[in-house]
Amino acid sequence: MTHAFDILLCLMILAVSGAAIMGRDLFVSIALFVIYGLLLAIAWVRLDAIDVALAEAAIGAGLSGILLLRGLSEVRDSTAKRALRAPLTILLGTSVAAAVGWAVSDLVERELGLQQRVGEHLAASGVANPVTAVLLNFRGWDTLLESIVLLAALAGVWAVSPGRGALGRPHVHRHLAGEDVLSTFGRFLAPLGFVVGAYVVWTGSSAPGGAFQAGTVLAAVWLLTMMAKLSSPPAISDLRLRTALIIGPLLFLAVGSTGLLAGAFFSFPAPHAGVMIVAIELVLAVSIAATLAMLVLGTPRSAP
């Protein structure tokens, strides 16, 4: 019976993604893409990956949707197609999908993955949530590089600003009717969002959650206050902004380096590991929030 739900969900996922690709109106495609992200989040829950579901819903569906809508407001839509003809492209897509599907269906459900290894060392990792343990402790190096990749993308976004816009402010489009509604909503939501974000980081140690999911909530709340004219986007030369951006990865790197004294790079000594991980996650969440929000705000165009 549960298989019926999975099959239905997957059919919906395929239908919505197909409609998003084929859609004539880009706005409709973007809306369908957001829906696709949410359906995918449900699929993650079905696959027992709740942390992934949180990340997908927040970043994959939510923030990516805002990003694309912002792009839509600036880039003209067109349904122009590239040179390769439709039947050939269908053949290409189908053959790749078939090849991957064939390779995957051959996998024998025989071997256990790394669950046991992680389970054995979970107590020593300092946290109770295995995904957080992997992200922040066992594979902490990857997570550090991931946050640096975010910064690199932001540097790229800032690098394409036109001559007079360099070191300027990104801007939020502001021709809204009903700004009083938005400002009331923003005022009410901001402190609540802050609490929720802090909670998601804190609870990531023992239940689904974590720095990235919390950072997205905080970024969304900040973006909302900017859209509601309760605060204005910072100039990218702003020192406080730049401190917020790098303090997370910097702290992560510093703490990881002290692990060298304990024996290995990025090792957290067992008695203090829990505290260290939560401290890193809290600061990292702030950096992630700042980076994600600035990525959505985009390239600064006007002088500060």
Partner 1 sequence: MSSILVYSLTGAALIGIGIYGFVRSAHLLRRLIAFNIVGSGVFLLFGAFARRISGAEADPVPQAIIITGIVVAFAATALGAALAIALEHKRRGASVEEVEGEEGNA
Partner 2 sequence: MILDGAAAMLILVGLFFFTAGTVGLLRFPDVHSRLHALTKADNLGLGFIVLGAAIHLRDGWAIAKLILLWGLAVAAAGAVAQLIARAALASGVEGDDDTRL
CA distances from 76 to 17, 69, 81, 87 (A): 22, 12, 15, 27
User: How would you class 81 by CB atoms within 10 Å of its CB: exposed for 0-12, middle for 13-18, buried for 19 or more?
Assistant: exposed
Query: Rounded to the nearest whole angstrom, what is the least distance from the CB of residue 51 to partner 2 in the complex?
Result: 17
Residue 182's identity, in one-letter code, is: L
Report the residue number, 189 or 235, with the smaller CB distance to partner 2.
189
Report the residue number, 217 or 295, with the smaller CB distance to partner 1.
295
- Residue 14 interface partner, choices partner 1, partner 2, none, CB cut-off 5-8 Å depending on type: partner 1
Cα 166 to Cα 206: distance, rounded to the nearest angstrom? 43
Query: Rounded to the nearest whole angstrom, what is the least distance from the CB of residue 261 to partner 1 in the complex?
Result: 26
Report the residue number, 153 or 264, with the smaller CB distance to partner 1.
153
Query: Rounded to the nearest whole angstrom, what is the least distance from the CB of residue 181 to partner 2 in the complex?
Result: 4
User: Which tokens is 68 given?
Assistant: 């694309």
DSSP string of 253-289?
HHHHHHHHHHTSTT---GGGHHHHHHHHHHHHHHHHH
Q: Does 21 bind partner 1 (CB under 8 A)?
A: yes
Report the residue number, 28 or 176, with the smaller CB distance to partner 2.
176
Residue 85's identity, in one-letter code, is: R
Residue 193's identity, in one-letter code, is: G
Quick one: DSSP state of residue 83? Answer: S
User: Which tokens is 32 given?
Assistant: 């369908």
Count of Cβ atoms closer than 10 Å to residue 169 Cβ = 19
Report the residue number, 53 or 224, with the smaller CB distance to partner 1.
53
Q: Does 114 bind partner 1 (CB under 8 A)?
A: yes
Q: Does 64 bind partner 1 (CB under 8 A)?
A: yes
Q: Does 43 bind partner 1 (CB under 8 A)?
A: yes
Give the three-class secondary structure for 302: strand
Query: Rounded to the nearest whole angstrom, what is the least distance from the CB of residue 270 to partner 1 in the complex?
Result: 19
- Residue 182 interface partner, choices partner 1, partner 2, none, CB cut-off 5-8 Å depending on type: partner 2
Question: What is the CB-side half-sphere exposure of residue 78 using CA atoms within 13 A?
Answer: 6
Applying CB under 8 A, among 193, 234, 249, 298 the residue interacting with partner 1 is: 298
Chain residues binding partner 2 by CB under 8 A are 176-178, 181-182, 184-185, 188-189, 192
Report the residue number, 276 or 295, with the smaller CB distance to partner 1.
295
Query: Rounded to the nearest whole angstrom, what is the least distance from the CB of residue 278 to partner 2 in the complex?
Result: 20
* Residue among 284, 232, 224, 212 at smallest CA distance from 254: 284
Q: Does 100 bind partner 1 (CB under 8 A)?
A: yes
Q: Among residue numbers 130 through 149, which ones bind partner 1 (CB under 8 A)?
A: 130-131, 133-135, 138-139, 142-143, 146, 149
Applying CB under 8 A, among 28, 123, 124, 160 the residue interacting with partner 1 is: 160
